[in-house]
Amino acid sequence: MAWSQTDSTQVHSCRCALTCVRSLLDFTMMAESRSHTPETISYMEEYARQFHETKDISLEFRLSKRTEEKADERRKQLRRQRAQMKERAPPSQQRQILDDDHEEENDQHRELIQSESNLNFVKIYLISHFRHQIYKVSTIP
C-alpha cells in the first residue's frame, strides 16, 4: 500500500513505532558511553521518557493466544452486527456503515490489547533505574 493510500491511524502508528524504536536506540547508544555528564544523563532521561510513552505500539505483538482468540471473536460479532445493519440501510448509507465498522473494529481491538497485554518485564523496567546505576558505578564530572 502506498503512503498516500494509508489512513491516518496507520500514519500515526507508523510514526509512533519509529519514535519508539529511535528513542530506545538513542538511549542504548548513550548508555554505552564510557562516561556520562549531567547533559548526557538528561538526554538519556528524555529518550527513556519517549520510549515509555510510545512502547505500547508494540503490544499487539505480545498477545497471548487467548487474547488473540478473544479479539477475533469480538471482530466476528461486530461484523455480524454491521452486516445486519447494512442489509437494512439504504445504499447511500452502506459505505458509511463500512467505514464506521472498520474504525470501531480497530478501536475495540486496541482496547482489548491495552486491557490484556503489557510490556512489564525486567529489561524494560531497568531503563527507569539507569540514573541511579550511573551515579553508583561511574564518576560524573
Q: Is residue 96 predicted with pLDDT exceeding 80? A: no
| Residue at 131 is within a domain | yes
C-alpha cell at position 60: 499487539
Q: Is residue 46 predicted with pLDDT exceeding 90? A: yes
CB 124 within 8 A of CB 55: yes
29 shares its domain with 48: yes
| Residue at 2 is within a domain | no
Q: Is residue 47 predicted with pLDDT exceeding 90? A: yes
Residue 22 pLDDT: 95
Phi, psi of 74 (to 5 degrees): -65, -40
Measured CA distances, 107 to 31, 126, 135 (Å) = 36, 31, 43
Question: Mean pLDDT across the stretch 6-23?
Answer: 84
131 shares its domain with 92: no
| Residue at 14 is within a domain | yes
Domain residues for the domain of 98 are 72-116
- Tell me which of 37 and 131 has the higher pLDDT: 37
C-alpha cell at position 57: 505500539
Q: Is residue 98 predicted with pLDDT exceeding 90? A: no
Find where cell 544523563 sits: 41
Whole-number average pLDDT of the chain: 77
The string of DSSP letters for 5-16 reads: GS-HHHHHHHHH
